[in-house]
Amino acid sequence: MNKKGESGSILLRILSDRNIQIGFTLLAVALILAFVGALPERVSSTEDGEVTQEGESFRAITQPYLPINSSMTFNYSEGESARIWFEDDEGDKIPLDERNEQYEIELGDGENHTQDLTELVTRPRTVHFNLTSGVLEYSHTITTETKPYGLLSFPALLFLLIGMVYAFKGKGVIAAEIKRKKMIEEEKEMKKKREEEKEEASDEKTIYPGEEKQEEGQHVDFMGMSDSSEDEEKEG
């Protein structure tokens, strides 16, 4: 059998093994579960509030560490002016622009403003308000990415481990069969080789009739001359 036919036979044996089939099936299920578990889903939530107290006040900002989007919208009405700024964990004002020139948002009556918190150089912890009068309404919108089917990773891991056990079990059985088959073929080749060597040896020992007569007719005396040549010399 040529190498191509032998490879096809081994591949067919691998695909027909029950342990291999179960292992590959479990691995495929694990892959599907892992893929579904890794699918992301975006979730948005909004928190509304308002500030009516004159003077300075603040609100804590609650948001995940790395949100996709986090922004606050302010609407000021029925007042003269309002100032808004953000502070970090250490209580320092956070700049609102890249040049660090603007730290506060100033609004007049009827004005509004939207600030993207993800663009700030520092994570904000609190938002501060300073009103002369009026009402300041605000809304905080957060968009995050979640994985609602993330728990499927646990059964995916279980199926992966079981599938690997079945796959390695089938691999061991097939490897043993291939090794045993190879040993049988080697034994057959060795046996055939020994028989050929025996036949060659027997052919070398065979004496044909013509050769035997020729050997009988050639007798050499101790002087190195044959008997027939000695008789010719006496007659002469």
**pLDDT interval class at 187 (50, 70, 90):** confident
Q: How far is CA 153 from the centre of its chain?
A: 15
Which residue range is the domain that position 51 belongs to? 41-146
Q: Residue 16 falls within a domain, yes or no?
A: yes
Q: Residue 234 falls within a domain, yes or no?
A: no
The whole-number pLDDT of residue 63 equals: 83
Half-sphere exposure in the Cβ direction for 36 (13 Å, CA): 12
- The string of pLDDT tens digits covering residues 37-55 is 888 888 888 999 999 888 8
The whole-number pLDDT of residue 232 equals: 52
Between 130 and 173, where is the model more confident?
130
The whole-number pLDDT of residue 222 equals: 46
Assess whether 107 and 49 both reside in one domain.
Answer: yes
Assess whether 28 and 45 both reside in one domain.
Answer: no
Q: Residue 227 falls within a domain, yes or no?
A: no
Assess whether 60 and 99 both reside in one domain.
Answer: yes
Assess whether 160 and 142 both reside in one domain.
Answer: no
Q: Residue 211 falls within a domain, yes or no?
A: no
Assess whether 105 and 45 both reside in one domain.
Answer: yes
The domain spanning residue 51 has which CATH number?
2.60.120.20
Indicate the DSSP class of residue 114. Answer: E
Mean pLDDT of the chain, nearest integer? 80
Assess whether 79 and 137 both reside in one domain.
Answer: yes
Between 120 and 180, where is the model more confident?
120
Please give the backbone phi and psi of residue 57, each rounded to the nearest 5 degrees, phi first: -150, 170
Assess whether 67 and 107 both reside in one domain.
Answer: yes
Between 153 and 203, where is the model more confident?
153
Is residue 19 over pLDDT 90? no
The CA distances from residue 188 to 89, 114, 183, 184, 191, in Å, are 83, 87, 9, 6, 5
Half-sphere exposure in the Cβ direction for 218 (13 Å, CA): 7
The CA distances from residue 46 to 27, 91, 107, 142, 191, in Å, are 41, 25, 22, 6, 85
Q: Residue 52 falls within a domain, yes or no?
A: yes
Assess whether 154 and 126 both reside in one domain.
Answer: no
- The string of pLDDT tens digits covering residues 113-166 is 999 998 888 889 999 999 988 899 999 999 998 888 889 889 999 999 998 888
The whole-number pLDDT of residue 188 equals: 82
Assess whether 89 and 130 both reside in one domain.
Answer: yes
Q: Which of 167, 169, 170 is nearest to 159 (CA)?
A: 167
Assess whether 52 and 121 both reside in one domain.
Answer: yes
Segment 191-206 shows an average pLDDT of 74
Q: How far, in Å, CA of 77 to CA of 73, rounded?
A: 14
The whole-number pLDDT of residue 139 equals: 94
The whole-number pLDDT of residue 137 equals: 93
Overall number of domains in the chain: 2
Q: Residue 86 falls within a domain, yes or no?
A: yes
Q: Residue 1 falls within a domain, yes or no?
A: no
Q: Residue 165 falls within a domain, yes or no?
A: yes
Assess whether 29 and 123 both reside in one domain.
Answer: no
Is residue 217 over pLDDT 70? no
- The string of pLDDT tens digits covering residues 53-107 is 888 888 998 888 778 889 999 999 988 889 999 999 888 999 988 777 789 999 9
The whole-number pLDDT of residue 62 equals: 85
